Structure 1
Amino acid sequence: MAEHDVIVVGGGHNGLTTAAYLAKAGLDVLVLEAKEYAGGGAVTQEVTVPGFHHDLHAIAHIFIQASPLVRDDELGLLSRHGLRYVYPDPCISVVFPDGDSICFYRDVRKTAESIARISPRDADNYLRFFEFADPVLDMLLGGFFAPPPPLGAMFAQLDQSELGQEVLRVLLMSHLEVAQEWFEHDKVKAAMARWVSEILAAPEEGGTGAFLMIMVPLIHRYGLGFAVGGSGALTAATARALASYGGAIRTSAPVERILFEGERAIGVRLASGEVLRARKAVAANLNIAQIPELVEHRFGADWQRKVDRLKPAGFVLLVGHLALAEAPIFRAGPEATSAGLQEVCLPLPELRQAFDGLKYGRPASMMPSIGVASVWDPSRAPEGKHTLYLLSFVPPELASGGWQEVFEESFTAFCALTTNMSWSKVLHHVVHSPDDSERFNAAWPKGDPGHFGSQIFQFLGYRPLPNMGYRLPAESLYLVGPSTHPGSGITGGGRAAAQCILSDLGLGSGE
């Protein structure tokens, strides 16, 4: 029987990151991945035409830029293992159907100048909001890439100061309510709400206000990164780092059961019947909803009920991958065109109605998100050609129609915002619906890569369950990945999970 110190089940971005930190600390680590390749949502493939490299799911790397994983290059991904980033500026442009736009630059004052074209008063309000949120970012990010404190203790600490009380109040609000308090013009409020909705939370969803408070200073400090070559470059660099520390990855190795001796997890059984032993720990980079079956429901009905009551995200994603004959030119002008991402935004009343429609099976196809990473990273497409990532917010199930119809509506909305786009510029396209995404990754229910919603009652120290952290209710068994803090997206969140495991093993924090 093969033995390792730690077995990590699931070779997505978080599983690989966790494994690399554990291996760096001197542990013998094996990652098991069910698919024929590792990476989870951080994968890049030629799914349209040869030579066009498309990020299948994650495209923009924002939160990870603030992590010591990248900021301090703790695993040598940048210095030794080939990872490179390009940083578009402006990072994001929010584009309105009438041609107005707001561009978010690394420079906060340039961003304010962009806002001033719509509302001079809100340009000043934006600077004021940044001054409020910037020191708060340090407060919140301190626990973003490490195991979070218990939520009650965090709230009690915040309640000790006037600034902390303001932060606590924002944490409990919706991000639209926060925008409405700080800004005056409906387009500015709508732009802020549209931007934050990328976390898959509708603007009026309670307990999401913290994300506006985080994302504004975050984008100005660290920017938006495109991994050169695609998101798969992050996976490849992390895999190389893991190997350099003596760790290994096995693909096409689905795990059927986690094995126990008494209350201790001691290994796994693969679908093939092969048994692998873990001397020190098993870490599952899975959706917490997958755990009961893997452990044969040994944690009991009460624990199962807590898992079952987790609230899903308000909506999910449909993604179109297109090979283009040329790059789009937006009617909003060269400034909006040059941004790393374009987010289409409706005026505030229509924006709220569009998000409300998602509750009733109606897609928000008129406000897609657009990424043409090949403008900034020419390695992704043949010379003069481009890749298009066209993302739409959709309900898990449509009230009527089909996914291709939704994609075509989104593509039509996108073309109307440009001077040069039409079907004649599309060399080939592939559509990935929520159903396709669920088939792609069994941990993504209804295609949600975040596993479930990010409201405050299931975030920070309450993600996935109140004050559970990364420890499942068995000795030496851990949960890592989007089901745990800091949640969905390219965050480098496996760093925090590794700190928890290393602390339990008496090996420090692995920093």
Structure 2
Amino acid sequence: MTSLPQRADVVIIGSGHNGLVSAILLARAGLDVVVLEAAEVLGGATRTEHPFPRVPGLGQSTGSYLLGLMPPELLRKLDVDIPVLRRDPHYFLPTPGPAGSPYLLFGSDRAATRAQMERFFSPRDVAADEAMAVEVAALRSDLAPAWLREPGSIEEVADRHIRPALQSTFIDLVRGSVADYLSRFGFKSELLMSMYAVTDGISGLNAGPDDPGTGHNFLAHNMCRLPDADGTWMIAAGGMGTVSRMFADAARSAGAQIFTGTPVSAVTVDGGAASGVALADGQTVAAPVVLGACDPFRLIDLVPPGALPATLTDHLASIKKPGTTMKVNLALRDLPAFSCLPPGAASPFGSTIHLLPGSAGLAGGAEGESPMAALRAMWADVQAGRLPEEPTIEWYLHTTVDPSLQDEAGHHSSALFVQSVPYTLAGTTWDEALPGYVEKLLAICDRYAPGTSDLVADTMPLTPPGIERHFGITGGHIHHVDNTVAFNQRMPYATGLDGLYAGSAGTHPAGSVIGAAGHNAAMRILKDLGRS
């Protein structure tokens, strides 16, 4: 145990993964770094918890749940080797039918994936899927260096990083909608389009598939470049808390001090510059540099009124949106059984399991409106404050790939990642509506895997307001700033108040477990201090 110092070179507000990345780099540069975390556990939303009272030994990544977008160059620079487990297959698209009904298992066996697509969809869909994969891979390769630099405008990024043949495509994608981008490739199946739109385009957004900027989110979610990832997202062994723990260990080894249960109440300002922080218990820590690794709106609230440039605060107010993501963490007594899978089929667990409106149509069943129309109807419900009757669900069950999280009784941790729900409900409250809506979501699971509801030993549902309370993220928005906002329109690393910096998911390049923001903010601080 060490006592809180009265002075430091740098105070970092928040111990999310970005703040810890900054702490590593700044401490290694010889600065005296103090990290202050309001919660009793470090990691922000990148944590492993034991949240189930009825199954106390079961571990769960309660917030972020996959590692995909962290640049390998950053991990090499940090000299941190996070143990990751590959998901193969990585996508599972079931149908609510009996054994022998169509399904898709996308994995490393490209020939098998292509055969499934030809069988259940069409050669046109195969060609569209392959053409999109080639283009996205080229954009991913070109854009990668931009993530570890200060941001430019969309056009500046295109001119500097994107090959000439794809510059117009890049600009249109980042500014445009995911629906427009997907339609370029000529998919015949709307179900395939809706799968990509949900998992990459509108994931975590306060937006529908036709909204400008959803293309930026799609591109950001396709920046998977970890070794052996093959463009997919990976499971962190031991849950996402492993990421935070390893970064924290590296920061402490470099000399940084990390304090949990230490909420900051204000950034102090003296002579027109940040001078440190005041804590909720009345203590202060003086520092010429303060780095907000909390969300940008929380950081603004900590600064005295008028201390930040009005152009910045007005811009941030104009792009501020609440979260529309719901996560239902589940403890399961046993593995669910998907009715469409024949005996001997490959295990779908570990993959992203897509429960999409319209999937019954793949098996020839009546489904009502088309898959893309269902996404648009879902978004219309959210805008009206209604809980969608047919939300899209990404279902995860990682303990078959990472059994280290299981308890002695062999329970499995699982989660439903639901897009989209309102932050505020019209005509009711989340307290009133939540139990019934969790039952509805589990009933949807029962359509695909009958009896799933009976396997649930405990739940930890997190609505958008629940995400706000549990992780301390303003508005419960998991990306801090909506990923429809790209590049230099996000929170800047240098805030315009001398000595005050920002380095969370709300800055460049995007929201997710990336770490680039923490790196870039630290590099900007070292440059301004003349220590680069």
TM-score (norm 1): 0.89
What is the CA-CA distance between 1:152 and the residue it aligns to? 4.5
Separation in structure 2 between the aligned mates of residue 429 and residue 292 of structure 1, nearest angstrom? 34
Q: 1:106 to 1:444 in 2, by over 3 A?
A: farther
Map residues 126-205 of structure 1 onto 2, 5 A cutoff. Answer: 126-155=129-158, 161-182=164-185, 183-196=187-200, 197-200=202-205, 201-205=207-211
3-state secondary structure, aligned to 1:258: strand
3-state secondary structure, aligned to 1:267: strand
What is the CA-CA distance between 1:160 and the residue it aligns to? 8.6
Map residues 38-437 of structure 1 onto 2, 5 A cutoff. Answer: 38-48=42-52, 49-64=55-70, 66-70=71-75, 72=76, 74-78=77-81, 83-97=82-96, 100-106=102-108, 110-117=112-119, 118-155=121-158, 161-182=164-185, 183-196=187-200, 197-200=202-205, 201-213=207-219, 215-216=221-222, 218=224, 221-279=230-288, 281-297=289-305, 298-299=307-308, 301-312=310-321, 316-333=324-341, 334-335=345-346, 337-347=348-358, 348=371, 349-364=373-388, 366-382=391-407, 384-393=410-419, 394-399=421-426, 400=428, 402-423=433-454, 425-437=455-467
Structure 2 gap segments, 5+ residues each: 359-370
Alignment match, 1:31: 35
Separation in structure 1 between the aligned mates of residue 111 and residue 175 of structure 2, nearest angstrom? 29
Q: 1:170 to 1:432 in 2, by over 3 A?
A: closer
Q: CA RMSD in A?
A: 2.4
Q: Deviations over 1:247-306 (max 9, x none)?
A: 110112111221223122221111222121214x21011222223332211225444322
What is the CA-CA distance between 1:212 and the residue it aligns to? 3.4
3-state secondary structure, aligned to 2:394: strand
Q: 1:94 to 1:263 in 2, by over 3 A?
A: farther
Q: 1:264 to 1:278 in 2, by over 3 A?
A: same
Alignment match, 2:504: 481
Q: 1:245 to 1:129 in 2, by over 3 A?
A: same
Q: Which moved more, 1:436-445 or 1:333-342?
A: 333-342
Q: 1:363 to 1:255 in 2, by over 3 A?
A: same
Structure 1 gap segments, 5+ residues each: none
Separation in structure 1 between the aligned mates of residue 414 and residue 92 of structure 2, nearest angstrom? 16
Count of aligned pairs between the two proteins: 491
Asked if 1:459 corresponds to 2:479, the answer is no
Alignment match, 2:363: none
3-state secondary structure, aligned to 1:354: helix
Q: Contact between 2:36 and 2:263, CA under 8 Å: does it hold in 1?
A: yes
Q: Contact between 1:146 and 1:497, CA under 8 Å: does it hold in 2?
A: no
Q: Deviations over 1:49-85 (max 9, x none)?
A: 1211011111111112x34233x3x32332xxxx411
Separation in structure 1 between the aligned mates of residue 208 and residue 198 of structure 2, nearest angstrom? 9
Structure 2 letter corresponding to 1:479: A
Q: Contact between 1:18 and 1:497, CA under 8 Å: does it hold in 2?
A: yes
What is the CA-CA distance between 1:421 and the residue it aligns to? 1.8
Separation in structure 2 between the aligned mates of residue 188 and residue 20 of structure 1, nearest angstrom? 42
Asked if 1:442 corresponds to 2:442, the answer is no
Q: 1:38 to 1:217 in 2, by over 3 A?
A: closer
Q: Which moved more, 1:7-16 or 1:357-366?
A: 357-366
Q: Contact between 1:481 and 1:487, CA under 8 Å: does it hold in 2?
A: no
Q: Contact between 1:42 and 1:55, CA under 8 Å: does it hold in 2?
A: yes
Separation in structure 1 between the aligned mates of residue 350 and residue 376 of structure 2, nearest angstrom? 25
Separation in structure 2 between the aligned mates of residue 354 and residue 227 of structure 1, nearest angstrom? 31
Structure 1 letter corresponding to 2:329: H
3-state secondary structure, aligned to 2:335: coil
